[in-house]
Amino acid sequence: MKELSYYPGCSLHGTAREYDDSIRGVLNVLDIQLHELEDWTCCGASSAHCTNEDLAIDLAARNLAIAEKSDRELLVPCVACYSRFKAAESELKEHSKKLRFSYRGNVPIRYALDFFCAEPILEEVKKKLTKPLAGLKVVCYYGCLTVRPPKLTGIRQYENPQHMDRLMECIGAEPIQWSYKTDCCGASLVMTRTDIVRKLGERLLSMAKEAEADCVVTGCPMCQANLDTRQEEIEKESGQKYDLPILYFTELMGLALGHKDVKKWLGRHITDPIKVLAAKGLV
């Protein structure tokens, strides 16, 4: 059995609970065991790097130092946490910045989407597929930090990434190409300048609709929350009806792998995904 260290991050204990549950569910099917880091703390998120670069590095490095107590790879589902960890790692490795915590940079930090898109995992998923998502049209919404900056993410096709599209194909869904894969949702501005998040969200939702997608798929808790929870406000403001479920890629994987808890995960969304999936005969 493969084993991984796991840093869920704050969102996955709150608004992104279904992401946490679905990752654990899918990994269980794939026979991969998770060890949650003991006493992990916040990565510092936008607020730390926006106001104090060294504090941002210390807050991330504390968690990396805990992870390094074992030699397991570190799985990070929230792309914002992942980005902070990669930035701290790069400060250590490339700029040999002195860190408060002893961290040697020996633990591979893996973003969940990258982990699941690796060829051996895709092979395993194909073998265990029980319900291919035939007829489900999806747009893959990578967002910013999944691909940028490429010197941290290592993603070569950062203007037109394809890995989530391949994952969706692997589980039988139909990924539609669209031009808004890596456009920003406004992220943490949702609390302070909600108007900006609504404007960016409207652009994304209307483009997804124009591409005739049944749903939007993402691996970022900020993107998911902004497009899901603000969708009704966006609809009121624009007079357009979108009704587009915003799903975590792991929820769709769980569905295709026949996981028993899928309905529980999907029940946590504000924009109801059950209706669309039921119409396709998938739930």
Partner 1 sequence: MDSNQKEKSFLSEVAQASGETIQACYQCQKCSAGCPVAYAMDILPNQILRHIQFDHRERVLSSKTIWICASCYACSVRCPNNIDIAKIMDTLRAMAIESGLKLGEKDIPIFHSVFLDTIKSKGRIHELSLIVQFKSKTRDFFKDAALGLKMYRKGKIKLFPSKFGGGREMKEIFNAFEKGERK
Best CA proximity match to 204, nearest among 240, 172, 169: 240
184 binds partner 1 (CB under 8 A): yes
40 binds partner 1 (CB under 8 A): yes
58 binds partner 1 (CB under 8 A): yes
Task: Give φ, ψ of 267 to 5 degrees.
Answer: -70, -10
Best CA proximity match to 124, nearest among 263, 1, 251: 1
Binder among 28, 70, 162, 188 for partner 1 (CB under 8 A) = 188
41 binds partner 1 (CB under 8 A): yes
52 binds partner 1 (CB under 8 A): yes
Interacting span for partner 1 (CB under 8 A) from 35-43, 170-178, 207-215, 245-253: 35-43
- Strand, coil or helix: what is 36? strand
Binder among 193, 236, 263, 275 for partner 1 (CB under 8 A) = 193
Q: What is the spatial distance between Cα 133 and Cα 135, in angstroms, rounded to a whole number?
A: 6
44 binds partner 1 (CB under 8 A): yes
Q: How far is the CB of 215 from partner 1 (least distance, A)?
A: 17
Write the burial class of residue 17 (CB in 10 Å: 0-12 exposed, 13-18 middle, 19+ buried). middle
172 binds partner 1 (CB under 8 A): no
In the complex with partner 1, the residue whose CB is nearer, 182 or 250, is 182
- Token pair 């709150």 is found at 14
Best CA proximity match to 7, nearest among 50, 92, 69: 69
Q: What is the spatial distance between Cα 261 and Cα 282, in angstroms, rounded to a whole number?
A: 14
Q: How far is the CB of 274 from partner 1 (least distance, A)?
A: 13
Interacting span for partner 1 (CB under 8 A) from 102-110, 112-120, 186-194, 244-252: 186-194
42's CB contacts (< 8 A; 6+ apart) are: 9, 10, 59
In the complex, the residues that contact partner 1 under the rule CB under 8 A are 10-11, 13-15, 17, 38-42, 44-55, 58-59, 62, 100, 144-145, 148-150, 158-159, 182-184, 186-189, 191-194, 196, 199-200, 229, 267-270
